[in-house]
Amino acid sequence: MSIVIENLSYVYSRKSPYEKHALSDISLFIKDGEFFGIIGHTGSGKSTLVNHLNALTRIQSGKITINGMDLTQKKLDFKKLRSTVGMVFQYPEYQLFDETVARDVSFGPRNLKLPEAEIAVRVREAIEMVGLNYEEIKNRSPFELSGGQKRRAAIAGVLAMRPEILVLDEPTTGLDPRGKKEILELILRIKARMCRTIVMISHNMDEIAALADRIAVLHEGKLACVKPPGELFSERELLEKLNIKMPLVTEIANRLADAGLAVNRGIVGEDELVEGIIGVRGQGSGIWFGSRLRENNIKRNR
Amino acid sequence: MSFIRFDNVSYSYNEGTADEVAAIKDISLSIAEGEFVALVGHNGSGKSTVAKLMNGLFLPSSGTVTVDGIDTAQKRGKNADKHYDPVYEVRKRVGVVFQNPDNQMVASIIEDDIAFGPENLGVPAVEISERVDWALGAVGMSGHRRGTPFRLSGGQKQRIAIAGVLALKPRVMVLDESTAMLDPTGRSEVMEVLKRLNRDEKMTVVLITHFMEEALSASRIIILNEGRIAMEGGREIFRRGAELSEMGLGVPLVCRVADKLRAKGMDLPEGITEVEELVSAVVQ
């Protein structure tokens, strides 16, 4: 289920005073089973890029192939594509519309004209997957739910299509810390059980650093780089050039390293940071690192 | 001297019906002029209800809310002047900026948008113009006076919304999750504006948020849980990590890392909340 993007470019409002080059010559390969992160400033082209993945935005120039399916072809099998690639937009709860949660979630599979029994199975599966109680919630209005529940119900509507690739555009925006944590855990659960490949846009560096296998950085419509988080966030000059903030954990690690402590500058995980600090500062297990630190100090003092 | 006072305030939605929900339960608090207060709580804790009680959008079900000595529930006309409307008086003093910048734009030209509030208060035209200049300058958007708000970024739109409130010359600005929908750049733009207004214009700021890192900018933090005040104080409250997570709130990362280091036997001073403090304590 790989995604291959070749030389993709896109221009909004072409030949008008508002012409804007949203994407310029993007080439990317997203592996099967990967958790792929996309970051970049507002207006960098992130959403335009992912909207191409299920042909909401049609290709102007370049090529996208998803699991062998060529998205440039004129007579695209939209049903097949959209049951392969599921899209969770920003604030997906704004798209809830039906009278009951079960009916809302069933909208996708019903449009696929699946038999009723199959629809029922998928609806139950999707609602349970997002951690809601099916029996309790199926006949309730989606508008009565709490903010976090609404968002999960909306994600269930996407999962009912049983997509193999799930694309999420800033799935935690606007949620409180508990809601954020729940959604991130949910995404990992979905990845383990249903959608092998996840593509996620985020503005939260801490979040994306902790989850993604690789991160693509978009900058003014161009692909600036694709790197694993530990590598990306340890390149301070590159980050400064792209005006991207480090995850706070990495920033702390870098400040400690600046102060002469032998911690790895590419640390992105909180526990890894704690271990790193204990390794060089704590007693016991930190002897080796401790002696390295002393060596460094001696060198510096000379 | 407290400028905003809540005395045993309760508020219920759908009062007197079967769907009655108590959002605020017996809250008493007081905010002085010039303070920067953060009001933190998870979704449904009652934060937004408090914001709406502060400028008379909601009137308490019981208890009293006073703003600059005016009871927000006071009936119009009891005063000798028949044009005196207490709600207007309250709203002149307390401006609220909401979450979604797109819902707060009323005009297609930025200066018209900002002039909307003072026009409604009957401010003379010359003064409105001065206020628009000042308000745009205060949020760092002077160059955009004749532009349109619709082509701005989220952070810029929210700064325009703040300027619109500033043009009313309020004494208190309440921001009801005004940064929740913004990207990190937009969020820090707005936070910088708030800190500057508080410092240079002596504006009282009430920041409603669930970002713990933002709450660190405040001089006082009030934590709401299930409609009640659960904690109140300076940054030292972030030491109570276990209680905060129980309420569905995070602890700022720096505090969390410091706690974990202490748990592993490292000797760190109490009350570390900033990166610099952590770094210097660890390196020492």
The whole-angstrom distance between B165's CA and the closest CA on chain A is 23
Q: Averaging pLDDT over each range in A146-150, A184-188, B17-21, B180-184, which range is the top one?
A: A184-188
Query: Looking at residues B10-29, what average pLDDT do you find?
Result: 90
User: pLDDT at residue A289 above 80?
Assistant: no
Do A285 and A217 lie in one domain? The reply is: no
Do A190 and A279 lie in one domain? The reply is: no
Do A86 and A223 lie in one domain? The reply is: yes
Q: Is residue A8 part of a domain?
A: no
Please report, rounded to a whole number, the percentage of residues in chain A having pLDDT higher than 90: 68
Do A132 and A268 lie in one domain? The reply is: no
The tokens for A21 are 């080059």
Query: Residues B40, B221: contact at Cβ < 8 Å?
Result: yes
The whole-angstrom distance between A147's CA and the closest CA on chain B is 8
| pLDDT of the residue at B24 | 93
Three-state SS string over A204-263 comes to CHHHHHHHCCEEEEEECCEEEEEECHHHHCCCHHHHHHHCCCCCHHHHHHHHHHHCCCCC
Residues of A in contact with B18 (CB under 8 A): none
Please tell me which residue of chain A has the smallest CA distance to B249. Answer: A177
Q: In this predicted structure, which of A113-117, B39-43, B229-233 has the lowest mean pLDDT? A: B39-43
The tokens for B279 are 């770094």
pLDDT tier at B78 (50, 70, 90 boundaries)?
A: low
Quick one: which of B187, B160, B154, B168 has its CA closest to B95? B168
Do A207 and A257 lie in one domain? The reply is: no
Residues of A in contact with B158 (CB under 8 A): none
| pLDDT of the residue at B143 | 87
- More confident call, B190 vs A63: A63
**Dist CA A175 CA A179 (whole Å):** 5
pTM for this predicted structure: 0.81
Asked if B261 lies within 8 A of A277 by C-beta distance, the reply is yes
**Dist CA A167 CA A255 (whole Å):** 34
Q: Is residue A281 part of a domain?
A: yes
| pLDDT of the residue at B237 | 86
The whole-angstrom distance between B186's CA and the closest CA on chain A is 9
| pLDDT of the residue at B79 | 57
Residues of B in contact with A261 (CB under 8 A): 282-283
User: pLDDT at residue A292 above 80?
Assistant: no
User: pLDDT at residue A293 above 60?
Assistant: no
Do A218 and A260 lie in one domain? The reply is: no
Asked if A259 lies within 8 A of B279 by C-beta distance, the reply is yes
Q: What is the dihedral of CA B238, B239, B243, B248, to 10 degrees?
A: 30
**Dist CA A246 CA A256 (whole Å):** 14
Residues of B in contact with A42 (CB under 8 A): 153-154, 183, 185-186
pLDDT tier at A187 (50, 70, 90 boundaries)?
A: very high
| pLDDT of the residue at A282 | 65
| pLDDT averaged over every residue in chain A | 89
Boundaries of domain holding A205: 34-44+79-242
Do A95 and A238 lie in one domain? The reply is: yes
| pLDDT of the residue at B185 | 79
**Dist CA A216 CA A244 (whole Å):** 12
Do A139 and A283 lie in one domain? The reply is: no
Domains of chain B by range and CATH? Answer: 2-251 (3.40.50.300)
Residue from A20, A93, A94, A176 to probe the interface with B (highest B Cβ count within 10 Å): A176
Q: In this predicted model, what pLDDT tens digit does every residue of B119-137 receive, in sequence order?
A: 988 899 999 999 999 999 8
Query: Residues A128, A134: contact at Cβ < 8 Å?
Result: yes
Do A85 and A212 lie in one domain? The reply is: yes
The tokens for B76 are 């119009």
pLDDT tier at A147 (50, 70, 90 boundaries)?
A: confident
Query: Residues A29, A2: contact at Cβ < 8 Å?
Result: yes
Residue ending a domain, among A242, A277, A293, is: A242
Any CB–CB contact under 8 A between A297 and chain B? no
Where do runs of H (alpha helix) occur along chain B? 47-54, 86-93, 110-120, 125-138, 154-166, 184-200, 212-215, 241-246, 253-263, 275-283
User: pLDDT at residue B100 above 90?
Assistant: no
| pLDDT of the residue at A227 | 96
Asked if A281 lies within 8 A of B260 by C-beta distance, the reply is no
Which of B212, B266, B280 has the CB atom closest to A282's CB atom? B266
Residue ending a domain, among A194, A218, A242, is: A242
> With a CB-CB cutoff of 8 Å, which residues 38-57 of chain A face chain B?
41-43
**B interface toward A at CB cutoff 8 Å?**
42-44, 99, 153-154, 177, 180-181, 183-186, 210, 212, 248-250, 253-254, 256-257, 260-261, 264-266, 275-276, 278-280, 282-283
User: pLDDT at residue B282 above 70?
Assistant: yes
Any CB–CB contact under 8 A between A268 and chain B? no
pLDDT tier at A295 (50, 70, 90 boundaries)?
A: very low
Do A166 and A256 lie in one domain? The reply is: no
Residues 6+ apart with CB under 8 A from A221: A21, A22, A23, A24, A44, A45
| pLDDT of the residue at B170 | 93
Query: Looking at residues A72-86, what average pLDDT do you find?
Result: 92
Q: Is residue A233 part of a domain?
A: yes
User: pLDDT at residue A284 above 80?
Assistant: no
Question: Residue A92 carries which side chain, given as an amino acid letter?
Answer: P
Q: Is residue A12 part of a domain?
A: no
Q: Is residue A50 part of a domain?
A: no
User: pLDDT at residue B224 above 90?
Assistant: yes
Query: Looking at residues A228-250, what average pLDDT do you find?
Result: 91
| pLDDT of the residue at B80 | 61
Query: Residues A248, B276: contact at Cβ < 8 Å?
Result: no
Do A214 and A115 lie in one domain? The reply is: yes
Q: Is residue A54 part of a domain?
A: no
Q: Is residue A39 part of a domain?
A: yes
User: pLDDT at residue B61 above 60?
Assistant: yes
pLDDT tier at A302 (50, 70, 90 boundaries)?
A: very low
| pLDDT averaged over every residue in chain B | 88
| pLDDT of the residue at B242 | 80
Q: Is residue A112 part of a domain?
A: yes
Query: Looking at residues B88-108, what average pLDDT do you find?
Result: 87
The whole-angstrom distance between A36's CA and the closest CA on chain B is 20
Asked if B279 lies within 8 A of A175 by C-beta distance, the reply is no
Please tell me which residue of chain A has the smallest CA distance to B212. Answer: A177
**Dist CA A283 CA A285 (whole Å):** 6
Other CB atoms within a 10 A radius of the CB of residue B124 amount to 9
Question: Residue B151 carries which side chain, given as an amino acid letter?
Answer: R
Asked if A203 lies within 8 A of B254 by C-beta distance, the reply is no
**What does the DSSP assignment read for A127-185?**
HHHTT--HHHHTTS-GGGS-HHHHHHHHHHHHHTT--SEEEEESTTTT--HHHHHHHHH
Phi, psi of B72 (to 5 degrees): -65, -20
Do A96 and A190 lie in one domain? The reply is: yes
Please report, rounded to a whole number, the percentage of residues in chain B having pLDDT higher than 90: 45
The answer, yes or no, to whether ipTM is higher than 0.90 is no
User: Considering its fold, how many domains does chain A have in total?
Assistant: 2
User: pLDDT at residue B57 above 80?
Assistant: yes
Q: Which strands, in side-by-side order, build the sheet including A61-66?
A: A20-30, A3-12, A61-66, A69-70
Quick one: which of A236, A237, A173 has its CA closest to A207? A173
Residue ending a domain, among A242, A272, A289, is: A242
| pLDDT of the residue at A225 | 95
pLDDT tier at B267 (50, 70, 90 boundaries)?
A: confident
Query: Looking at residues A250-275, what average pLDDT do you find?
Result: 90
| pLDDT of the residue at A298 | 44
pLDDT tier at A72 (50, 70, 90 boundaries)?
A: very high
Q: In this predicted model, what pLDDT tens digit does every residue of A219-230 receive, in sequence order?
A: 999 999 999 999
User: pLDDT at residue A136 above 90?
Assistant: yes
Question: Residue B66 carries which side chain, given as an amino acid letter?
Answer: T
User: pLDDT at residue A190 above 70?
Assistant: yes
CATH number for position A91: 3.40.50.300
Query: Looking at residues B91-109, what average pLDDT do you find?
Result: 88
